[in-house]
Amino acid sequence: MVNEPGNQAKRGPRPGVIAGAWCFVFRLALFGVIWWGLAGGSLQDWPLALFFILAAAASSMFLVPGQKLRLAGIPGFIPFFLHLSLMGGLDVTSRAFRPSMPLETGIIMHRVRLEHPTARVLFVWVVSLLPGTASVQLTDQRLRIHVLDSDQPHHKRLQDLEKKIQALFKS
C-alpha cells in the first residue's frame, strides 16, 4: 500500500468522538449527583438509579447536543452572574420592605446579537436576574423586557451581559 496523502488511514478516535465521550461522562456525573442529592445520599436502589441515570444521560445527548464552551470565559462570567443575582435580590428586597420606593414600570426592547442558540437562551434567563427586570418575550432578534424602573441603565447592563455570555461560547 502506498502512503499517499489521500490514501492514509486515520489512526485513533476522531476528535468529535472523544468530545462526545467526555460530554456523556460529564452528564453521567451530573445526573448521578442530582439523583444522589434527591435521594438524600441513599444508595438503596442503586441498580434502578443507574438505569435512569444512563437513560437520562443518553437521551440528553440527543435532545441537547454538546455545547462548545470556552473555559476561559467562565472566570469572567461567574462573578458577573453572582453580582447580578445579588443586586437583583437586593433590589426586590428593598422594594418589598420600602413600598414607598417609586416605580417607573415599563417595557423595553433589546436587540439580541447572540447567534449561538444556547447563548440566547442563557441570556434570556439571566436577564431576569438583572435588578428590576423580567424577560417577557423573544421573537427573532428582539427581546421584550419588563422593567420596574425605566430610569435605570438597562441597555448598558444588557450589552455587558451579552458580552459575558458571548465569551462563554465558541463560534
Span 41-94, pLDDT tens digits: 777 888 898 999 999 988 888 877 666 777 788 888 889 888 888 888 888 888
Q: Of the candidates 24, 39, 63, which is a domain's last residue?
A: 63
Q: Of the candidates 28, 44, 63, which is a domain's last residue?
A: 63
Question: Are residues 93 and 130 located together in one domain of the fold?
Answer: yes
State which residues form the domain around 26. 11-63
Q: How confident is the model at residue 1 (pLDDT cuts 50, 70, 90)?
A: very low
53 assigned to some structural domain = yes
Split into its structural domains, the chain has a count of: 2
What is the side-by-side strand order in the sheet with 133-139?
106-111, 142-147, 133-139
What is residue 19's three-state secondary structure? helix
Query: Under a CB-based contact definition with an 8 Å cutoff, are residues 129 and 88 in contact?
Result: yes
Question: Are residues 122 and 81 located together in one domain of the fold?
Answer: yes
159 assigned to some structural domain = yes
Question: Are residues 102 and 142 located together in one domain of the fold?
Answer: yes
Q: How many residues does the chain have?
A: 171
Sheet strands (E) in 50-161: 106-111, 133-139, 142-147
171 assigned to some structural domain = no
- Position 11 scores a pLDDT of 58
Tens digits of per-residue pLDDT, 12-40?
Answer: 545 556 666 777 888 888 888 888 888 88
- How high is the mean pLDDT of the chain? 82
2 assigned to some structural domain = no
